[in-house]
Amino acid sequence: MTTSDEEMVNVTESVVNVTDSVVRFANLNVLTTEILNDSDDDELERLAGMRSRRTLNSKSRDSLSYFFDESIHPTQIMASTGRGGTSRMFARGKDLNDELSSVGNFFQRGSTLWKATAFTKTAVASDRNSPAGTSRGGVSCELGSEDHPVQEMEFFNIGGAKVYFYYGLDVIRAPEHVMNAGPHVRDTAVGVLMLDQYKIHERPGDPSNPLTFWPYQAFFVIPQGITFQKCKDVGSCGSNALRDYPLETSAICQALLALAEVASKHGYKRLMIVGDCGYYGLAAEAFARNLSCWGDQSWVPHPDSAFASFRSPRFRSPHLDLDIILCLGTTQLIASPEPEKNLSTQLGANTSVVYLTADACGFYSGDAQTTVSEEYAPFMDRPWNSNEWHFNLNGEVSMFDLVARVNSSILNAVGIKSDDGALEDIFESLLEISTGSTSYLVGLFLGDTASQMREYGETSIERAWIGCSHLTELIQGMAQNDDGKPHPKDVIIEKVAPVFEYIESILLRIDNVYLGSLPRHKVWHPDGTVNLTEESEFRMLALLLGNPGLNGNPPPPTYKEFKLDVALRIQDTFLSLLEVRKHADNITGLPIGVSYVEFLASFLANLNRNVLSTVEASHGIDGKTFPLFDCRYVPGFGFAVANSLTVWTRMSNYHWMSAILLRFSEIMQEKGWMGAAAYHMECTELFSFTPFFHEMGIPVVDGVNGVLIASRLTDAPMRFVNFKQKNNEPQTPSALVADVSEDPSSYYRDNSMPLRTPTLDSEVYEQGMYKVKRTLMIADKKRWSMIKLAQPLYEDFKLLYGFKSYDQSRFRPGDSIYPASSALDIGKYVDDDDDDDDDDVANPSEILEHFVQYAQIKDEKELDSNFHSFFGGDKYRDRCENAHRVTVKES
C-alpha cells in the first residue's frame, strides 16, 4: 500500500469515527418508523436496547477501507472470500500470509514434529531431538510474552495422531464453576475424537469447542487421514470396520490411545471420550475390540462394570492407571441392527427414538445408499442442464441446496431491515462462501417483498413466513417467458432488475455501516437519491459473493461480466424453486417459508415409511422404532455443515429446526408411523440445539449429555456449567481456525476471533428477530406440547431435562441431562407467559408406559451378547474377573 493510500485509510477511519454515532442514530429513527405500525412500545424499547449493545469492529472498517483501495482489483477481493472462517478473519484485518506456520507444519501428514506450542501471534514446533526450553511447554520463555496466558495451546504427535488442548483455559476456571460441576473436576477430563481437515469456528455445544465441557479440561485428537468421508466409510461398516477399513480403524484406535496417554501424563485419572462426528459411534464395537490388542497399551474391561451406560463400554488402562469410558455418541446405541444389541430392548411400549442427522445418505453404503439417494434425485439435478444452456451446471450446488439457501434468509430479511448488527452478521457469514451466496441474497429479496404483503399476517415476520410461497407469478416473470421457456442470456439482467435494486440498497447500508458516508463511494442525484458508484458496487459484491464465475471459470475482470454471472445465478435459483415445486405435490405454492416446512417434513416422513423401513442397514435405523430425521436441507444448518462453514446462532435457524422437526413428528404420530418419542442428536453440530429443545419440553440426548448419563455409574457424576462473560471478561483464547481451501491447510489465530462463547453467541441470537420469538416460536412450543413424548430413565431414576432441572440447590450432578454448557447466555430461548411451565418433567400419564432406559441391561444373556460385541468371546462375568486380576497385578 502506498503512503497516500495509508493516509486515505487514516482519513477514512477519522470520518467513520465522527459519523458512526450519526449513522446509528439515523438507523434507530428508521427502525422506529418502519416497524411502529406492528410493534408495541415495549418491543421498540427492547430492540433499541439490544441494538445499542452491538459495536462495530474497527478492524472490519480498516480492512474494508483496504479493499476499497483502487490498487486492489475486485478479482483480488474475490480470492479472499470462500475460505470459511478464515475469510472473516482476513476481513477483520488479518494478513493472509500471517499464518502459524509451525502449527501447519505440525499438522501435515507424515510430520515428524513431536510437539508444538502456540499463542495468538507466535508458535514453535520441535522434534524429539530439539533441546528443551525453559517454559512449561518446553519452549523459550519469550514465546507468547505479549499474549495473555489464556492464549496458550499445546500440541503432541503420538504415533501420527495429533493431540492438542487449550492449556491456557486453566487460568480462568472460576472456583464456583469447579464447585458446581462436581467433586472431581481436577481428576476427570473429556477427550474428543476429531476429524482430519475439518477445523471451523464452532459454537459451544459442539465437542470441538472446549467450553462445551466447561469447567472440565478437554483434550482433542485428530486421527491421521480420517477425513469426514473416511469417517463415514468406517462408520457405515459398523462392527466390521476393522475388516473392511483396517488402516483407518487402526489410525482411529491409535488416536484413542494417544488421548489416554496425554490425559494420564497431565494427571487425570478418568477420561470420558466423545466423538466430533456421529459416524464414529457406529463403529464403536470395532474400536473396543481392537483396543484390547495393543500389548502393554491395551485397555481391558473395567473390573467394577464393563459398561457405564447402555452400550457405553468402560475400560481400565493398567499401563496408565486410567479409567476410560467410550461414549462416542448416540449412534453407539443403535450401531447393530440386531434388537438384542441395540436400544430397542430398552424402550417402553410403542416408543420411538428419532435420530437427527446432517446426512441421511451417509448412514448407508452400497445398494442401500443408492436406494436412499434416488429419493432425493428429483430435487437435485436441473432438467435445463444441457449443452444448449448458458453455462455448464455440472458440479454446481444442487437445486435442493439452492431452495434451502433461499429459505434460510427470508426471515433475516426482516431482521436486517432495522438492525445494523444483524446486517453485520449476515455480511460476515457471506464472506465465508462463494457458491450459494447469490441464492441467499435472493431469499432476502423475497422475504423483504413478502413482508410488505399485509394480507398474509399482522407482523412483517408472519407475512414473510407465509407470503413468500405466494410469489410464484413474480418469480416466473423474472425467470421465464410466457411460454415457460427460460429468458435468454441477453435480457436476463433486465428481467431480474428488481433483485439488483434490492441488493444495491443492502450494499448502500453496508457501506454506511462500515465505511461511513465517503463521497468517493457514492453518487448523489438531484432528486435526493443516493447510490454507490459502479466501481464501489463491484467491490462490495465481490466481497459478498466471491467469484460467481460459472463452472469454475476465472473471476470476471469487469463489472459487466460479473453482473451477468450473478444474474444467471439468480435465474438459476428462480428456476430451481419452480422445478422443486413441481415435485412437491403436498403444497400449493412455492416451497418457501411455511410451505417449505410442510414439503420437507412430509418428504422425510415418507422417506422413513417407504424406504428406510425396507433397506438393508448395518445399524438400527428402521423408519419406525428409530426414524431418521435428515437435517441436510434444514435452512440455516445443512448447507453450512456440508460445506464446513460456520453454523450461526441466529434465532431464525433455531426456528427452522424446530418447525420442521415438529411438523415431521406430527405427521409420523398422526399416521401411526412412530410411537411416543424421544430425540437423539447424531451430528455434533446439532448439539447446540439441545438446550433449546429442552426448553420446548422435548427430551433430547446428544453426545454431550450422553457423557453426563455415563458418569452416573462412577463415583463422580458430572455437571457442565454455562460459561458466562461480562464486558468480555473473563478473556477467552483466540480460536484456532484452518483454511482448508488448499492443501496443505493453513492455521490462523487472531484476537478478533476468540472462541465462541455462550455470551458472544447470545448477541447474535436475538438481533432483529424479536418477532420470531414473540410469534412463530411461541406457537411452535404450544404445538410441541401435543406431541406424545417418552421419559428418559437411568435404572429407576427419571432423568430430568430442561433448565429448571439444572437448579443446583435441588438436584445432584448426574440427575439432570440438561447440558448447560451448550446453552446460550440468555434468559429464555422462547418468550412464554406461563410462569408455571414445567419444562423438565414428561407428562406423568405417559411416564410408565413410554420410556427410554439408558442404564445397561441386567439380563445376563443380553449382557453377554453386548459384552461379546465390544470385548470379544469371553462371558461378561469371567472377563471382568480376569480384568480385575490384571489390574491388581499391575498395581
Q: Express each pLDDT in 229-247 by its tens digit.
A: 999 999 988 899 999 999 9
List, in sequence order, the alpha helices (H) in 671-747: 690-695, 703-711
Secondary structure, 3-state, 295-356: HHHCCEECCCCCEEECCEEEEEECCCCEEEEECCCHHHHHCCCCHHHCHHHHECCCEEEEEE
Residue 465, Ramachandran bin (φ over 0: left; ψ between -120 and 50: alpha; else beta): alpha
Residue 77 CB contacts under 8 Å (≥ 6 apart), including other chains: 67, 539, 542, 543
All 3 cell numbers of residue 480?
Answer: 421465464
Determine the Cα–Cα distance for residues 888 and 891; give it in Å rounded to an integer: 5
Q: What percent of the chain has pLDDT over 70?
A: 84
Residue whose C-alpha cell reads 416451497 in the numeric block: 591
The pLDDT value recorded for residue 861 is: 63
d(CA 521, CA 477): 33
CA–CA gap between residue 689 and residue 675 (Å, rounded): 23
Highest mean pLDDT among 129-138, 710-719, 799-808, 816-825: 816-825
Rounded to whole angstroms, the Cα distance separating 381 from 391 reads 14
Determine if residue 321 is left, alpha or beta; phi over 0 gives left, psi from -120 to 50 gives alpha, anything else beta.
left
**φ, ψ for residue 195 (rounded to 5)?**
-115, 150
Beta bridge partners of 189: 217, 271
Average pLDDT over residues 326-345: 93
Given pLDDT bands bounded at 50, 70 and 90, which one contains residue 548? Answer: confident
pLDDT of residue 825 exceeding 90:
yes
- Decide if pLDDT at 835 tops 50: no
Alpha carbon separation from 698 to 149, 180, 691, 843 (Å, rounded)? 40, 25, 9, 11
Between 868 and 594, where is the model more confident?
Answer: 594
Buried b (16+ CB within 10 A) or exposed e, 248-266: bbbbbbbbbbbbbbbbbee
Of residues 554, 492, 501, the one with CA closest to residue 531: 501
* pLDDT value for 279: 92
Q: Which of 691, 693, 683, 766 is nearest to 721 (CA)?
A: 691
Q: Measuring CA to CA, which residue among 431, 439, 398 is closest to residue 82?
A: 431
Kindly report which listed range (58-72, 185-199, 504-518) carries the lowest average pLDDT score. Answer: 58-72
The amino acid occupying position 527 is: D
For residue 107, what is its C-alpha cell?
499438522
pLDDT higher at 378 or 12: 378
Does 890 score more than 60 pLDDT? no
Average pLDDT of 84-100? 78
Residue 844: which H helix or E strand, with range?
Answer: helix 844-847
Q: For residue 474, how many C-alpha atoms fall within 13 Å in the half-sphere facing its CB?
A: 17
Q: What pLDDT does residue 445 have?
A: 98
Retrieve residue 341's grid coordinates: 444389541
Q: Are 100 and 216 in contact (CB under 8 A)?
A: no
Q: How confident is the model at residue 328 (pLDDT cuts 50, 70, 90)?
A: very high
The confidence score (pLDDT) of residue 33 equals: 32
What is the torsion angle, in degrees rounded to the nearest 10, for the CA atoms of residue 301, residue 306, residue 309 and residue 311? 70
Q: What is the mean pLDDT of the chain?
A: 84
- What is d(CA 817, CA 241) in angstroms, rounded to the nearest whole number? 31
Residue indicated by cell numbers 510437539: 115
pLDDT tens-digit profile of 165-218? 999 998 998 888 888 887 788 899 999 999 987 777 889 999 999 999 999 999
Higher pLDDT, 773 or 267: 267
Instruction: Single out the residue of 439, 387, 423, 398 nearest to residue 566, CA to CA.
Output: 439
Cell numbers describing residue 443: 431469499
Q: Model confidence over 538-547: pLDDT tens digits? A: 988 988 888 8
Burial of residue 174, with CB atoms counted within 10 A of its CB: 0-12 exposed, 13-18 middle, 19 or more buried = middle
For 441-486, what is the HEC assignment? HHHHHHHHHHHCCHHHCCCHHHHHHHHHHHCHHHHHHHHECCCCCE
pLDDT value at residue 146: 76
The Cα–Cα gap between 800 and 839 comes to 9
> Which residues fall within 8 angstroms of residue 706, CB to CB, at 6 or more apart?
274, 309, 312, 327, 329, 330
Share of the chain above pLDDT 90, in %: 57
Q: Which residue has the cell 476499497?
A: 68
Burial class (CB in 10 A: 0-12, 13-18, 19+), 494: exposed
Q: Which of 315-324, 728-737, 857-866 has the lowest mean pLDDT?
A: 857-866
pLDDT reading at 150 higher than 50: yes
Q: Which has the closest alpha carbon to 63: 27, 103, 98?
A: 98
Could you give the 3-state DSSP secondary structure of residue 857?
coil
- What is the reported pLDDT for 426? 85
The kind and range of the H/E element at 180 are helix 175-181
Cα–Cα distance measured from residue 374 to residue 381, given in angstroms and rounded to the nearest whole number:
11
Q: Which of 163-172, 326-335, 387-396 has the lowest mean pLDDT?
A: 387-396
Q: Is a pLDDT exceeding 70 seen at residue 142? A: no
Collapsing DSSP to helix, strand or coil, 123 comes out as: strand
* pLDDT band, very low/low/confident/very high, at 705 (cuts 50, 70, 90): very high
Mean pLDDT over 847-870 rounds to 79
Which residue has cell 407428562? 843
Encode 743-807 in three state secondary structure: CCCEEECCCCCECCCHHHHHHHHHCCCHHHHHHHHHHHHHHHCCCCECEEEECCEECECCHHHHC
Confidence class of residue 681 from pLDDT cuts 50, 70 and 90? very high
| Alpha-carbon gap, residue 659 to 665, rounded angstroms | 10
Q: What is the mean pLDDT of residues 655-666?
A: 98
pLDDT of the residue at 809: 58
Q: Answer whether residue 286 shows pLDDT above 80.
A: yes
* pLDDT recorded at residue 49: 35
Confidence of residue 65 (pLDDT cuts 50, 70, 90): low
List all residues 6 or more positions away from 116 whose beta carbon is below 8 Å from its beta carbon: 102, 103, 106, 123, 124, 125, 126, 154, 155
Residue with cell 430425521: 629
C-alpha span between 282 and 232 (Å, rounded)? 9
Question: What pLDDT does residue 31 have?
Answer: 30
Q: What is the pLDDT of residue 32?
A: 28
pLDDT at 769 over 80: no
Do 222 and 199 touch, CB atoms closer than 8 A? no
Cα–Cα distance measured from residue 54 to residue 421, given in angstroms and rounded to the nearest whole number: 6
pLDDT category of residue 808 using cuts at 50, 70 and 90: low
- pLDDT attached to residue 531: 83
Q: What is the per-residue pLDDT across 581-608, written as a single tens digit (0 to 9) for each?
A: 999 988 989 999 999 999 999 999 999 9
Using pLDDT thresholds of 50, 70 and 90, give the confidence band for residue 73: confident
808 or 342, higher pLDDT: 342
- Looking at residue 838, its pLDDT comes to 46
Beta bridge partners of 49: none
Instruction: To the nearest 10°, report the CA torsion of 820, 825, 826, 827.
Output: 50
**How confident is the model at residue 64, as a pLDDT?**
62
- Whether 372 and 364 have beta carbons less than 8 Å apart is answered as yes
Give buried/exposed letters for 831-842 (b at 16+ CB in 10 A, else e).
ebeeeebebbeb
- Give the chain's end-to-end CA distance (angstroms, integer): 66
